[in-house]
Structure 1
Amino acid sequence: MMKRLVTAAAPATVIATGVWAEGQTHFVAVHVDQNDPQVMNERAGKDVPLMDEANMVPSGVVRLIELQEQDYAYIRP
């Protein structure tokens, strides 16, 4: 059985999605709210590098809703 999961981590809206199935290859996609790098940099007092694989999205909350509408289960951290 395939499980589609999504979680979001604060203080930034970093959304990780993944698909898990017994005996199958797993993958994770990372989505970052386009406003969050600025917030993270201000809090850290320096530039915080993002992983190259991160996908910028206009709104992290909207992306969470879209994923839930696609039957992803939201896991609260």
Structure 2
Amino acid sequence: MRGFLRICAIALITGSFISVGLAADGQPHHIAIQIDQNDPQVMNLVLNNATNVIEHYRAKNQDVDVDIVAYGPGLHMLRADTSPVQDRIKRLKDMVFPGKIQFSACNNTKQGMEKAEGHEIPIVANATIVPSGVVHLMELQEQGWSYVRP
């Protein structure tokens, strides 16, 4: 009987370590990717990086959140009137990875472009305007998000 109790105790202890490990692995991953260049190749590289990260964690049954932050000349990625990748953005956001990918547009850059061009700058419907792209990246990093600059 003592041997049986000992085995049960070991099983309980081992089970608690396993469940702690599973809980730790169940934590979502977070990555912020910046785009600050008006270059279609770099924009596609950013979208490829995001796709690869999401697919990697999806294959492992783990959650990941991606925030692509556009500022400076990179805001053209999220401009409805100049983006060479807006169809791909819509497809990724709405169909391929709904709820996993966010696009953040810098309002400081948007206002600067509006002043320079003399008209309102339209942003793609799938993007969120943030007050400052750089500050947004900084705050995400302070919250534990990983940061990538392609």
TM-score (norm: length of structure 2): 0.36
| Residue 9 (str. 1) matches residue 82 (str. 2) | no
| Residue 75 (str. 1) matches residue 148 (str. 2) | yes
The alignment partner of 2:144 has SS state of: coil
Q: CA separation in 1, counterparts of 2:29 and 2:62?
A: 11
Which of 1 and 2 has higher RCO (CA within 8 Å, sep 6+)? 1
Counterpart amino acid of 2:103? V
Q: CA separation in 2, counterparts of 1:65 and 1:73?
A: 10
TM-score (norm: length of structure 1): 0.63
Identical pairs, percent: 29
1:39 maps to what in 2? 113
Contact 2:31 2:145 in 1 (8 A): yes
Write out per-residue CA displacement over residues 53-74 of structure 1, whole angstroms, 9 at most, x where no aligned residue. Answer: 2111111111011100111100
Count, aligned residues? 70
The alignment partner of 2:126 has SS state of: coil
Q: Which runs of 5+ in 2 are unaligned?
A: 1-24, 39-46, 64-96
> Match for 1:55 among 114, 121, 128?
128
| Residue 24 of structure 1: how far off its partner (Å) | 4.9
> Match for 2:61 among 23, 30, 37?
23
The alignment partner of 2:37 has SS state of: coil
Structure whose CA Rg is larger: 2
Larger proportion of helix = 2
